[in-house]
Copies of this chain bind each other. A is one copy, B any other.
Amino acid sequence: MLRGEITDAIRRAVMQELAAVGYGRLSIEAVARRAGVGKTAIYRRWNSKLEMVLEIVSRVAGQSLPLPDTGTLSGDLEILLRIVARALRHPLASQIIPDLLAEAARNPQIAATLQESLRVNQRDVGALLIGRAVDRGELPPGIDPDTAIDLIVGPLYWRLAVARTPLPDGHLPWMATSIATALAVPAPGTVPAVPVDEIVDVALPR
């Protein structure tokens, strides 16, 4: 019988170590040291560093969140933004999430796990919000959920997890309405307004 308190201590230590040094430099010995635990206790539970991290992280990330219907798209968006903002402000999460996402770019297993526990969830949330808005007549039908998620999560993620600039008070409601406005922009005509290919070529030579 593995003792649950020990397992919890290891889990906690992995999250802290992950935040402190990242996945790349995470070592089993450091985790054991931080948890006040023998290496044996870890190897008794997981077979490898990858397996351990994936199990622990996906357990945390896999929780689905309730999204109440506020009656307006921008209201729904504001709630979602608040949830995301709170998550991204968490000292551990704000370090671990970008780190693992970067690692996912080179490790298919991590990518698959995050895909499953994060992205699928997200996509459903996006589809839900849009579905409601379409039903209310706030948005035209036919919006791509992926595109919507880009607009909704992208700016906030950039601000909090990449630029790491603090958010002014009362910023989220503005962001919500401004995203709602952007989502309502209809798909473009076939011809782009400006021929820019040559300019781009000049700016970034091959």
Contact = CB atoms under 8 A, between A and B. Distances in A.
Contacts of A22: 22, 24, 102-103, 106
Contacts of A72: 193-194
**Chain A interface mostly helix, strand, loop or mixed?**
helix
Contacts of A190: 170
Interface residues of A, number: 76
Residue from A102, A183, A190 with most neighbouring chain B CB atoms (10 Å) = A102
Interface stretch (A4-12, A45-53, A131-139, A147-155): A147-155
Contacts of A29: none
A128 interface: no
Given A75-B193, A101-B102, A86 B200 contact: yes
A70 interface: yes
A153 B95 CA distance: 20
A22 to B, nearest CB: 5
Interface string A182-206: 1111011110111010011011100
22 contacts: A19-B106, A20-B106, A22-B102, A74-B193, A78-B193, A79-B194, A79-B200, A83-B204, A86-B204, A98-B105, A99-B105, A101-B102, A101-B162, A146-B159, A149-B158, A150-B158, A151-B178, A151-B182, A154-B157, A157-B162, A170-B189, A179-B182
